[in-house]
């Protein structure tokens, strides 16, 4: 079984320069690959795949353009992976699974430095440091989080990324496939929402972390810093005295606040999933939420985005696979909120403002808990 581990690293100044240089080169090569294939398409020529493009780049383009020789100065596997990512983006576009690939902008795209284990000395990990090809030994801030090579674990590949001035390493480790046995025959249903983050059929309610005082304070601070950044951009555009160094400092402030807010939300989500899975149900049923449709409502779009429903489903599925729990996905048209859990009657005129479900049979229950109970007992579903 392959499992990923991501943690923050503390590279030296020399290593930081090499990381930034490699990520910048990967971004350039990715954009160059998209532009080159776009040019071939406009000229009516055949699409150039990843391996053919790399052969053309190394044997034809670079010898004729020595001013781009700096491409050869970075880790070759990272450059190769960026071309492969470009081909994968085109493949998704050709299969109508996504739109035409977009260029990656400097400072606005999550470009990473890819590395892979080529020889026994690569990708070794100790309690407090990890060996990364082309970087050497890099110190880890969270000691003991990544399984060590000394204990017999093998790191297959990984990436180094930057975010808000901080550096992270994500590695793929081969672990023994040991799945926990289920000690419960009962399943649970989870109703996700905006008032509360999740309501479970066992009666447990997980509140919306975005309504907490700490996050509201950070969002107010973010508004002030964004306003200051906007003024600096406006002054620069109008030709007034604004130093670019100060603008970059202010930009980093905004990024750090965004990163802090995102970390709080992700940490709360991870703890929620861990607590749900620890109950060891035989199955978990959630609803296929139409996030794209909900985002079209300009009154709810910000609240929907901050709940990170898609990320919750992806992480819950990974956790269920790891623990041998069946994850069931009910259809998005399944009337979990409008159906009475007692008699099965569907209340078509149920409004969003009705927080209590009242049925003619005398059944009265919280709207979200009723939906969670219906999801638990759903007969029609798909196994993720």
| Residue closest to 169 by CA, chosen among 160, 156, 157, 178 | 160
pLDDT reported for residue 245: 85
Tokens of residue 150, six digits: 């000394």
> What's the DSSP call for residue 147?
P
Between 185 and 364, name the one with better pLDDT.
Answer: 364
Over residues 123-133, mean pLDDT: 92
Q: Which band of pLDDT confidence, cut at 50, 70 and 90, is reported for residue 258?
A: very high
Q: Which band of pLDDT confidence, cut at 50, 70 and 90, is reported for residue 185?
A: low
225-242: string of b/e by CB count within 10 Å (b at 16+)? beeebeebeeeeeeeeeb
pLDDT reported for residue 183: 56
What are the CA-CA distances from residue 42 to residues 101, 213, 230 (Å)? 16, 54, 38
Identify the burial level of 169 via C-beta atoms within 10 angstroms of its C-beta, where 0-12 means exposed, 13-18 middle and 19 or more buried.
buried
Is the predicted pLDDT of residue 130 greater than 70, yes or no?
yes
pLDDT reported for residue 178: 65
Is the predicted pLDDT of residue 122 greater than 90, yes or no?
no
pLDDT reported for residue 64: 93
Claim: this prediction has a pTM higher than 0.75: yes
| Residue 254 neighbours by CB distance under 10 Å | 18
Is the predicted pLDDT of residue 180 greater than 60, yes or no?
no
pLDDT reported for residue 206: 95
- pLDDT per residue as tens digits for the range 132-171: 999 999 999 999 899 998 888 899 999 999 999 999 999 9
Is the predicted pLDDT of residue 59 greater than 90, yes or no?
yes
- pLDDT per residue as tens digits for the range 41-51: 888 889 999 99
The whole-angstrom separation of Cα 301 and Cα 353 is 18
Q: Which band of pLDDT confidence, cut at 50, 70 and 90, is reported for residue 239?
A: confident
> By percentage, how much of the chain surpasses pLDDT 70?
98
Distance from chain centroid for Cα 286: 20
Give the three-state DSSP class for 319.
helix
Give the three-state DSSP class for 355.
coil
| Residue closest to 107 by CA, chosen among 160, 163, 159 | 163
Sign of the Cα pseudo-torsion (301, 303, 307, 309, in order): negative
Residue located via tokens 């509140």:
207
Over residues 232-238, mean pLDDT: 87
Q: Which band of pLDDT confidence, cut at 50, 70 and 90, is reported for residue 354?
A: confident
pLDDT reported for residue 72: 92
The whole-angstrom separation of Cα 272 and Cα 249 is 35
The whole-angstrom separation of Cα 61 and Cα 33 is 12
Q: Which band of pLDDT confidence, cut at 50, 70 and 90, is reported for residue 361?
A: confident
Is the predicted pLDDT of residue 212 greater than 80, yes or no?
yes
Is the predicted pLDDT of residue 189 greater than 80, yes or no?
yes
- pLDDT per residue as tens digits for the range 82-96: 999 999 999 999 888
Q: Which band of pLDDT confidence, cut at 50, 70 and 90, is reported for residue 74?
A: very high
């Amino acid at each position: 079984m392959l499992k990923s581990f991501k943690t923050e690293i503390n590279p030296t100044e020399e290593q930081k320069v090499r990381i930034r240089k490699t990520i910048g080169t990967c971004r350039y090569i990715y954009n160059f690959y998209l532009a080159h294939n776009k040019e071939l398409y406009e000229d009516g020529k055949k699409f150039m795949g990843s391996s053919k493009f790399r052969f053309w780049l190394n044997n034809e383009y670079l010898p004729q353009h020595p001013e781009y020789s700096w491409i050869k100065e970075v880790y070759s596997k990272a450059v190769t992976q960026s071309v492969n990512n470009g081909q994968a983006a085109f493949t998704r576009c050709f299969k109508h699974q996504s739109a035409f690939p977009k260029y990656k902008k400097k400072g606005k795209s999550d470009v990473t430095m890819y590395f892979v284990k080529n020889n026994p000395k690569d990708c070794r990990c100790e309690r407090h440091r990890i060996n990364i090809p082309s970087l050497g030994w890099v110190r880890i801030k969270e000691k003991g989080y990544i399984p060590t090579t000394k204990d017999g674990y093998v790191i297959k590949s990984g990436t180094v990324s930057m975010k808000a001035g901080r550096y992270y390493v994500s590695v793929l480790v081969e672990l023994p496939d040991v799945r926990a046995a289920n000690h419960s025959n009962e399943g649970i249903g989870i109703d996700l929402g905006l008032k509360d983050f999740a309501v479970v059929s066992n009666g447990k309610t997980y509140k919306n972390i975005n309504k907490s005082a700490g996050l509201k304070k950070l969002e107010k601070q973010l508004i002030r810093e964004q306003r200051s950044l906007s003024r600096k951009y406006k002054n620069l555009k109008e030709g007034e005295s604004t130093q670019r160094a100060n603008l970059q400092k202010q930009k980093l402030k905004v990024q750090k606040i965004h990163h802090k807010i995102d970390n709080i939300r992700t940490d709360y989500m991870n703890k929620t999933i861990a607590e749900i899975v620890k109950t060891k149900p035989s199955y978990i049923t959630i609803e296929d939420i139409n996030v794209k449709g909900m985002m079209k409502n300009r009154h709810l779009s910000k609240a929907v985005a901050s709940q990170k429903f898609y990320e919750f489903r992806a992480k819950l599925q990974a956790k269920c696979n790891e623990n041998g729990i069946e994850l069931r996905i009910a259809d998005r048209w399944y009337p979990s909120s409008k159906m009475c859990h007692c008699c099965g009657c569907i209340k078509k005129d149920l409004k969003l403002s009705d927080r209590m479900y009242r049925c003619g049979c005398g059944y009265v229950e919280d709207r979200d808990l009723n939906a969670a109970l219906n999801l638990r007992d759903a007969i029609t579903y798909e196994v993720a």
